[in-house]
Amino acid sequence: MAKTSNLGYPRIGEQREWKKTIEAFWNGNLDKEQFLQKIKEIRLQHLRKQQQAGLDVIPVGDFSLYDHVLDTSVTFGLIPERFTGNHTDSLTTYYEIARGGKNLVASEMTKWYNTNYHYIVPELEGQTPRLVENRALALYLEAKEELGIDGKPVILGPFSFLKLSKGYEAEQFADILSSLIAPYGQLLGELQEAGVKWVQLDEPSLVTTITKEEIGLVKSVYKQLRSQAPDLSIFLQTYFDSVSFYEEVVTFPVNGIGLDFVAGYEENIKQLQNHSFPKDKVLGVGIIDGRNIWKADYKQIVNIVNEIKEIVPSHHIWLQPSCSLLHVPVTIKNEEKLDPTLKAGLAFADEKLQELQDLKEIIDHPDSEHSQQLLKVNEAALKALAQSSWRTEHEQTNDNRITDRAVPFAKRYALQAEKWKLPVLPTTTIGSFPQTAELRKARKSWRLGELSNEEYEALIKEKIQYWVNIQEEIGLDVLVHGEFERTDMVEFFGEKLAGFAFTTNGWVQSYGSRCVKPPVIYGNVEFIEPMTVKETVYAQSLTDRPVKGMLTGPVTILNWSFVRNDLPRKEVAFQIADALIQEVQALEAAGIEMIQVDEPALREGLPLKKENWDDYLQWAVTAFRIATAAVANTTQIHTHMCYSEFGDILPAIHALDADVISIETSRSHGELIQDFEHVGFDKGIGLGVYDIHSPRVPSQEEIEQVIHRALSVLPANLFWVNPDCGLKTRGEAETVAALKNMVQAANKYRCLTPTTI
């Protein structure tokens, strides 16, 4: 009989208890002892839920106080030098690495593979890894002692950990990987000594484009780890795509291998059928989609598992999600406002655990009355959704899309320069300004009907006017209205477009304690009416300086939503783009002729295998151009991207044909600038000159260093100065102080280049 296993569970809690506890600690409302006790209660509750769900194999150690990659760095003593010696309290150091501190720049944060989860990038810089604290063992013992759970510790594997790290040269890779063997071996040896039966080593980098040499190195590492813990059952877990070098990976000296049969189904099943599977290993069949929220198709999954059972016996099969459930909300049970047909077609983390149990029952007892009833109910829910009017009405193909601007960039940029007469090194922000507790409270009251539309709009206008005045006083050249009417940059637009639904508690972790509530694209996307014109036009009426219209781009809306799974993602992206160009034209018609269409998630959707990049980039770029091309030559299109490795897709970014592109570079300590030394870029470019996710205020000198470095590579007449992201999460005082330093830094270099653009 098959077993059921989970790879990881959401940290945040049904009501975001995890987030609230961490932030209470940061704000000084909980002392360390209170904080750790509350966190323990949350952690145990998550384990208890999985235990009650009937899982055969329950993960432990996937829980984190911020980020599991940062946990791995700290486990092995890989703490950047600037954070050492400042505190005896390891928890304070831990959070300073993640968030920064007084005079301490936070470590870089970037996307976890092709998801919207952000991890803290390990900085190796010649350090020697050593086992400082066996966190996996502590959490295993806690689960066993408190709940009687003989859990499966989850640890980021050495190959993927190193691949996700920075601070070394390519030629050092093999030596550094070898240096990880001893501390990893010690960790595994201690787990074995404590009686752990199974340990899950996550190696998602094995699904990326890697070399034959690298596979050889990884196999050698696992041989040596096996010798350190010969009696411990090691489960090598991959996800997010099909495993590379399948024939070699299945020969690794491990006891089980987990494969993704959702994102990597076609290639993984082909490899399994062509090359079989070792008879002495367990196969983790990742068959429940861990990254989307649609109810599983039981009939389809049973057919797939039956295919696999022809190769792998049932008692060697573990039914699993395709990846950690970190990427989906906790439970659907509290969603009382969703349409019943839509709700019946959804499954969050808790429901996915139940799906595993259902599938185990159906697979082990296919002819039982209970199994047949489970199949019948599942089929009816999926059929009702597929036949709903949301998916069958108004679907259309637009054959007349405009994807090219009327004239090339150089010509229209000259026209725009004449129109706007901006100084050299124009200063601006990315879009949002601080959202206070007062504003969030008012928005909640408005949504509950306790505050009238007129009262709410008056408050929004008051905030817009207040911050327009501040921007003028600071000396910014191009202003924004501040986005005070918006909760989230995707949710806001989804609420105003057809085809989107919204949950009440469908939160997922984005980075640290930051949670987002992705919209659900369940039907055909259509423009209904202008979404941003009123607030932007009001802001423009308050100033003689240009005010940018602020939109979220089609690819980001796609990648930051839970997307219907009955259409290709490309087609959904084009539907969103068709809607957004109507908003762009509405802004233009209202006199707003600087319009920023943000695409921070462009790279996030990039396939993990390089051979699949071109197709994605082609349609992603096309979607952006559909949303922006049909405007006048003097209308200046901006875009913004952040917290991803953009250097290797600069040609695609150039192909967007935006007039000004702003890209985060501060948290990566200016590393992207190096890429511009090798790749020419002849569009307007704004490099984020300071990190907005850290509470510290950067000095003018720090910002000057970034500008100086950028101007050594990029022409001054194309360079813009801006923060690296929106300022919604920052406080007013730090926002104003940082922007003043930014403007003063720009003014210093402006004096050295006294021309206009």
Written as one letter, the residue type at 735 is T
Among the listed residues 46, 118, 638, 693, the single catalytic one is: 693
**Annotated binding residue 17:** yes
Gap between the Cα atoms of 627 and 304, Å rounded: 39
**Annotated binding residue 352:** no
**Annotated binding residue 376:** no
Q: Can 275 be counted among the known catalytic residues?
A: no
Q: What spatial distance separates the first Cα and last Cα of the chain, rounded to whole Å?
A: 71
Residue 657, CA distances (Å) to 264, 420, 625 in order: 33, 19, 8
**Annotated binding residue 725:** yes
Two structure tokens written together for 703: 């910002």
**Annotated binding residue 598:** yes
**Annotated binding residue 541:** no
The residue with tokens 């019943």 is 340
**Annotated binding residue 318:** no
What sign does the CA torsion over 17, 23, 28, 32 have? positive
| C-beta of residue 73 within 8 angstroms of C-beta of residue 120 | yes
How long, in residues, is the chain? 757
| C-beta of residue 505 within 8 angstroms of C-beta of residue 337 | no
Sequence-ordered list of residues with C-beta below 8 angstroms from that of 414, at least 6 positions apart, any chain: none
What sign does the CA torsion over 409, 413, 419, 425 have? positive
What sign does the CA torsion over 22, 26, 27, 31 have? positive
CA angle in degrees (0–180, nearest 5) for 58-59-65: 140
State the CB neighbour count (10 A cutoff) for residue 700.
Answer: 17
**Annotated binding residue 473:** no
**Annotated binding residue 430:** yes
Gap between the Cα atoms of 657 and 638, Å rounded: 10
**Annotated binding residue 18:** yes
Written as one letter, the residue type at 45 is Q
The residue with tokens 């495993």 is 243
Gap between the Cα atoms of 160 and 154, Å rounded: 13
Written as one letter, the residue type at 110 is T
Two structure tokens written together for 659: 């007039």
**Annotated binding residue 664:** yes
**Annotated binding residue 160:** no
**Annotated binding residue 81:** no
Gap between the Cα atoms of 660 and 434, Å rounded: 24
Written as one letter, the residue type at 480 is V
**Annotated binding residue 150:** no
| C-beta of residue 574 within 8 angstroms of C-beta of residue 625 | no
> Mind spelling out the 3-state secondary structure of 111-135?
ECCCCCCEEECCECCCCCCCCCCCH
**Annotated binding residue 675:** no
Gap between the Cα atoms of 360 and 364, Å rounded: 6
Binding-site annotation, residues = 16-19, 111, 116, 430-432, 483, 514-515, 560, 598, 604, 640, 642, 664, 725
Binding-site annotation, residues for L-homocysteine = 430-432, 483, 598
Binding-site annotation, residues for Zn(2+) = 640, 642, 664, 725
Binding-site annotation, residues for L-methionine = 430-432, 483, 598
Which residue numbers are catalytic? Answer: 693
Binding-site annotation, residues for 5-methyltetrahydropteroyltri-L-glutamate = 16-19, 111, 116, 514-515, 560, 604
